Structure 1
Amino acid sequence: MGSTEDDIDSKEAWVFYKDREYWADVTPIPQDDGPNAVVKIAYTDAFTDVYDYFRAVMASGELSERALELTGDALHMNAANYTVWQYRRKVLKHLGSNLEQELAFCREMIEMNPKNYQVWHHRRVIVGWLGDAGKELRLTEMIFNQDAKNYHAWEHRQWVLRTFNRLFDGELDYVDRLLDEDARNNSAWNQRHFAITQTTGFTPEVIEREVEYTKNAINKIVGNESPWSYLRGVVQHCDGGLNSVGDLEKWCQDMYEAGQRSPHLLTFMIDLMEDKLERDPSVRPQLLKRTLKMCESLATEHDKIRHEYWRYIERNLNHRFSA
């Protein structure tokens, strides 16, 4: 039905709409750029031909098989055109078209335009009409094989899981596989947090399990920021504060004493100390001094690019806890 840009550029493969007999009854509508266009876009002849006919079809409200074919050609030329996608959905609904075939068309478009929001949105609408997301997790996995951090694919996967929550089974196992392949995949760490939030929630048992899981990941690559961010997100669910889970303070201190000076470790240690300063006034004089010293080391040695930020944190902590 649709045609690629290569087909359209080929004189043998492409026939202009103005030369197609079954479109002879339609008068194309040229684009109106006004009398004094500042920057006139140099559209190809094929692009101009297709969109002149699309404007005519939309103006007349035609909802036909040939209009559906026309939208396919228009989208191959510009997959980001929201108006064309919207009109295509209108035609599909009016015709009662085969939505499985539409999913196939959509997959083709996604493979060519994996970071195009409009394509993913269209896919979501069609899946919603079908009430069946059986192909969606596999589709996103194929996209992640090419780009493990494709935001649109992750957004689609999360929509699928929220809408068809029975599909959550096995999601943590899938995330485990991704993190085994690349522990720096921040999208997979985010998905882990999403999956737990949407299913069991962060119960005390889950928090303990996730802390151990994340510590193991950090022990392998201490300089990997993603698990540190995830760990911070997990312990924030603790009612008793950041220091109430396991032996995080000792674990961090052991790494520090072993000579580890990753900015992520030092930042997390400051978070732990700030939490203790908040909850236990009796420790403030000595602990504040240690905390400020660590901020100083980050500002001047271990995280100099954020020098001003750490100066700000020093002033803030001093103001809050030095009285």
Structure 2
Amino acid sequence: MQKYDYSDITPLPIQTDSQDELCRIMYTEDYKQLMGLARALISVNELSPRALELTSHVIDVAPAFYTIWNYRFNIIRHMVTESDDSVSYLNKELDWLDEITLNNPKNYQIWSYRQSLLKLHPSPSFKRELPVLKLMIDDDSKNYHVWSYRKWCCLFFNDFQHELAYTTDLIESDIYNNSAWTHRMFYWVNAKDVVSEVELADELQFIMDKIQLVPQNISSWTYLRGFQEFTHDTIQWDNKVVQFATSFIADVLSLPTDSPQNLPEIESSYALEFLACHWSADPSSRESAIKAYTLLSIKYDPIRKNLWQHKMNSLQ
């Protein structure tokens, strides 16, 4: 903090000194000085370069301190109004924020702050956000803070052009990445008015190819169910999808259920669950759904027996 002089500021205490404290936190003197200065500046709402600099130091030692993020944004918003080049000023702040972001991958305050900066920015750019998002996902492909922010960016910029190819790459490298599958569905839901039947057919083939690679993968089967529901009003693929799912469960639907130990192994219990859910929606096929749920309950997914029983009861 040598860049600015704070000698005119009297730090406010960050401890109560109450005799009734059960367990007093042992702050260092440097920490008490830093936070005391921050409290003092916040109390008078000083919106200045030195206040901004101080918030940087506070964030370095306490990056989850939400109040200091809010204070920093108030300073930035004030200083933007006094700047001759608000775009460059905000870009510089985003550059600073990139480094903080990469060093604090699980800090949700950062993402709220990024959103506020982009809303304030006269010419925000999704392209500028993509590199840091990629670095964050490369570091932790299931970081829900990053995925939530990426969704927000897609909606804020009304730009979904990168998302299908991006999730394809992630799924190719980790077929179990449920976050990528979920984001892929987010793409289709928001692109539904501009996609063609050919693109939807290609996507169905993509899903089936991935299921063929790893039949016992709940992510791809759940995605298939969502995709079928999403496209049902546009294209009827019921027979094709049912035949595909049935290919993973041998002939168990035709076998008696009184001797579970004699039932054969199947490639995918999730295929059986998919079929049960699909058949449950049609009164004419509910007996098949009950048979599938029974098989799940007694043989293929008994750990969720109570769930399957509940679903069967709802059909009877």
Shorter-chain TM-score range: 0.7 to 0.9
- The counterpart of 1:260, out of the listed 261, 266, 276, is 266
Contact kept? 1:218, 1:227, Cα under 8 Å: yes
**SS of corresponding position for 1:168:** coil
- The counterpart of 1:60, out of the listed 8, 25, 44, is 44
Match of 1:11 in 2: none
1:79 equivalent to 2:60? Answer no
**2: CA distance, partners of 1:244 / 1:193:** 18
Question: Deviations for 1:137-178, whole angstroms, at most 9, x for unmatched residues?
Answer: 12101111101111111111111111112x422321111111
Report how far residue 208 of structure 1 moved. Answer: 3.2
Contact kept? 2:277, 2:289, Cα under 8 Å: no
1:110 equivalent to 2:101? Answer yes
1:182 equivalent to 2:174? Answer yes
Alignment coverage as a number of residue pairs = 292
**2: CA distance, partners of 1:88 / 1:241:** 49
What is the letter of the counterpart of residue 176 of structure 1?
Answer: T
Matches within 5 A, 1:157-236: 157-165=150-158, 167-201=159-193, 205-236=198-229
Question: Deviations for 1:263-303, whole angstroms, at most 9, x for unmatched residues?
Answer: 21110011122123x2x3xxx5xx61x43333222112221
What is the letter of the counterpart of residue 27 of structure 1?
Answer: T
Matches within 5 A, 1:1-323: 22-33=5-16, 35=18, 36-96=20-80, 98-130=89-121, 131-133=123-125, 134-165=127-158, 167-201=159-193, 205-239=198-232, 244-245=237-238, 247-257=240-250, 260-276=266-282, 278=283, 280=284, 288=287, 290-317=288-315, 319=316
Query: Where does the alignment leave 5 or more consecutive residues of structure 1 unmatched?
Result: 2-14
**1: CA distance, partners of 2:233 / 2:134:** 38
Contact kept? 2:105, 2:136, Cα under 8 Å: yes
**2: CA distance, partners of 1:299 / 1:251:** 22
**SS of corresponding position for 1:257:** coil
Contact kept? 2:246, 2:271, Cα under 8 Å: no
TM (norm. structure 2) is 0.84
What is the letter of the counterpart of residue 49 of structure 2?
Answer: E
Q: 1:33 to 1:300 in 2, by over 3 A?
A: farther
Q: 1:310 to 1:243 in 2, by over 3 A?
A: farther
**1: CA distance, partners of 2:16 / 2:297:** 55
What is the letter of the counterpart of residue 42 of structure 2?
Answer: M
TM (norm. structure 1) is 0.83
**1: CA distance, partners of 2:219 / 2:93:** 38
**2: CA distance, partners of 1:123 / 1:254:** 47
Question: Deviations for 1:237-259, whole angstroms, at most 9, x for unmatched residues?
Answer: 24469974451111122222275
Report how far residue 128 of structure 1 moved. Answer: 2.2
Q: Percent identity?
A: 28
**SS of corresponding position for 2:248:** helix
**SS of corresponding position for 1:226:** helix
Question: Deviations for 1:8-49, whole angstroms, at most 9, x for unmatched residues?
Answer: xxxxxxx7xxxx982111111102436222232222222111
Contact kept? 1:242, 1:275, Cα under 8 Å: no
**SS of corresponding position for 1:39:** coil
**2: CA distance, partners of 1:292 / 1:246:** 19
**2: CA distance, partners of 1:275 / 1:220:** 28
